[in-house]
Amino acid sequence: MLADAVIGADGYRSVVRRAISPDAPYARYAGYLVWRGLVNEQELARPISWPSDGGLWIDFVQGYRLVAAVLPGQDGSMEIGRRQVTFAWFDAHRDVLLRATNRLTPEGYLMGTLGRRSIDKDIRSELLSMIPSLWPDVWAAAVTLGVQSTTSLSGAPIAEYLPERLVSGPLAIVGDAAHVVSPMTGSGFATGVDDAALLSRALAKRRHDESMAAALLRYENARLPYTRALVAHSRQLSAQYVNHASGVDLVQENYHAPRTTL
């Protein structure tokens, strides 16, 4: 059976995007990666001294950035001692590693992430040795456990993609397939959801004499300006971060709430 349309929601390395924009098929590396970990509070010697409603901790120290928070435990509990701890450690010094592992092309395109099992002992040791001088006591034990764990730590190089088009004939893209932004925008997921809502509206309003390509083009016209502006904003945030990170000690920003004790 022939399809009337193909909608690509296939992420930052989208195959459908390659068909829509063969001249610009890949997302570019934004200049930093994020070490991510998730650990059970029960596995720590002491619970985290951070309240369940404490929101995000965001620190910028010596060119590295830490975002950390407590989440419900695997059973949904927000009881102190039974929660999970998540962290994202931004690191702008991993170009060599990404090139050596074929995640980053010489042209600056991103081809993959560092999965949990592809982070070797030397990298873990290096990260572990940095923790005492970078991260505060409140998160240090959780970050240490996350870095040590071969089932927790992963490395997500951050990509950006500025779209020229979202549609070609009966093909369309949504979400990261269409545009990729830094997590510093806090908007990647929600923008993909909005894309899907706008696309479904464009299709629902399709007149019986209107071609599929014309209906998809209405989606592109409605969506492209916003997504391009968002990617431009993302590029600014990334450039600011990478500049700060390469001029170590230029900036020390703390956004977190006052420390609290249990």
Ligand X SMILES: Cc1cc2nc3c(=O)[nH]c(=O)nc-3n(C[C@H](O)[C@H](O)[C@H](O)COP(=O)(O)OP(=O)(O)OC[C@H]3O[C@@H](n4cnc5c(N)ncnc54)[C@H](O)[C@@H]3O)c2cc1C
Which residues make up the interface to ligand X (CB under 6 A)?
9-11, 15, 34, 36, 88, 156, 175-177, 183, 186-190, 192
CB nearer to ligand X: pick between 42 and 236: 236
Token digits of residue 260: 């609290």
Nearest approach, Cβ of residue 230 and ligand X (Å):
11
Of 19, 40, 261, the closest CA to residue 137 belongs to 261
Burial class, 46, CB count within 10 angstroms (exposed 0-12 / middle 13-18 / buried 19+): exposed
Q: Min. distance of Cβ 199 from ligand X in angstroms?
A: 12
Cβ at position 65, least distance to ligand X in Å: 12
Least distance CB 180 / ligand X (angstroms): 7
Minimal distance, residue 173 CB to ligand X, in Å: 9
CB nearest ligand X: which residue? 175
Q: Are the C-beta atoms of 88 and 34 separated by less than 8 Å? A: yes
| Distance, first Cα to last Cα, the chain | 61
Beta carbon nearer to ligand X, 37 or 63 = 37
Distance CA(94)–CA(206), nearest Å, equals: 47
Alpha helix stretches (DSSP H) within 110-211: 121-134, 137-148, 188-204
- If the CB atoms of residues 15 and 100 are measured against ligand X, the closer one turns out to be 15
Beta carbons of 198 and 220 less than 8 angstroms apart: no
Residue nearer to ligand X on the CB measure, 11 or 25: 11
Instruction: Take residue 163 and report the two structure tokens written for it.
Output: 């779209």
Comparison of 88 and 111: residue with beta carbon closer to ligand X = 88
